[in-house]
Amino acid sequence: MAKSDDNRPFIPLGIAVLTVSDTRTLADDRSGDTLADRIAEAGHRLVDRAISPDDKEAIAERVLGWSGNDAIDVIITTGGTGFTGRDVTPDTLEPHFDKRMEGFSAVFHRNSYDKIGTSTIQSRATAGLIGTTFVFVLPGSPGACRDAWDGILKQQLDYRHMPCNFVEIMPRLDEHLKRS
């Protein structure tokens, strides 16, 4: 069963948050605030935070730029995961994933189902690796951001979480890039 090994040190990660919205600003971005607050409470560093319109080029430019920044270990996007014509975040980012994280979507939907029932199927939450950067694509509601952070990310981004976590594998994420 999952537990915390308090003999291991906490290792703070650099995290960037991108809110994808045509209507939000930093002043009224409740989902981004939810993530920023939880990142700080957990002891991680919020390296950058931005708003992007629901535009494929703008989203890709920001996320790919951040994925090339050595200070950023994790990127969390919020918004644009639905089915409307403007919801393009998964479509934009999944082609850039070097590896997809199928389990994230499954666990996110399982947790979400307990809170909102079958409405969870209206989200295309996804995750993967771009280079050595973890990218999590969340729905745009504060509740979905809380569920993803509290139910998945807080534990997986903590080196003390056992039996395994993302932090302990970070030094080996570029092994496929080093092979000849």
**In a 10 Å sphere around its CB, with 0-12 CB exposed, 13-18 middle and 19+ buried, how is residue 2 labelled?**
exposed
pTM of the entire structure? 0.96
User: Which pLDDT tens digit goes with each residue over 44-85?
Assistant: 999 999 999 999 999 999 999 999 999 999 999 999 999 999
Distances from the Cα of 178 to the Cαs of 135, 172, 174, in angstroms? 21, 10, 7
Question: Is residue 73 exposed (0-12), middle (13-18) or buried (19+ Cβ within 10 Å)?
Answer: buried
Tokens 């970070």 sit at which residue? 170
d(CA 51, CA 12): 24
Give pLDDT, residue 180.
Answer: 54
The domain limits of the chain are 11-171
- Topology annotation, domain 11-171: Molybdenum Cofactor Biosythetic Enzyme; Chain A (3.40.980)
H or E element at residue 21: none
**pLDDT score of 179:** 60
pLDDT of amino acid 1: 73
Name residues of the chain where pLDDT drops below 50.
none
Cis peptide before 139 (omega within 30 of 0): no
Burial of residue 127 (number of CB atoms within 10 Å: 0-12, 13-18, 19+): buried
pLDDT of residue 175: 82
